[in-house]
Amino acid sequence: MDRVHESGGGVVIEARSEREQADCPGCGSTSARVHGRYRRRLADTALAGRPW
């Protein structure tokens, strides 16, 4: 985890992988380039009554 903070009444958790490269699950080739970033929503975590 890089950072945890409140934003807009919710809690934001920023994290990233520690690995410098990874294998593609589709073709198996190795890459060190970031192919994309996206947000995920926690579905079953208690956050002291705060929205996520």
Per-residue pLDDT, 6:
84
**Number of domains comprising the chain:** 1
Residue whose pair of structure tokens reads 């903070």 in the numeric block: 5
Structural domain contains residue 20: yes
pLDDT, tens digit, 9 for 90 and up, residues 1-48? 788 888 887 788 888 778 888 888 888 889 887 767 777 777 666 666
3-state SS string for 1-52: CCEEEEECCEEEEECCCCCCCEECCCCCCEECCCCCCCCCCCCCCCCCCCCC
Structural domain contains residue 51: no
Structural domain contains residue 27: yes
Domain around 34: 1-39
Would you put residue 50 in left (φ > 0), alpha (ψ -120 to 50) or beta? Answer: beta
pLDDT, tens digit, 9 for 90 and up, residues 32-45? 877 677 777 776 66
Per-residue pLDDT, 15:
82
pTM (predicted TM-score): 0.47
* Rounded-to-integer distance, Cα 32 and Cα 44, Å: 32
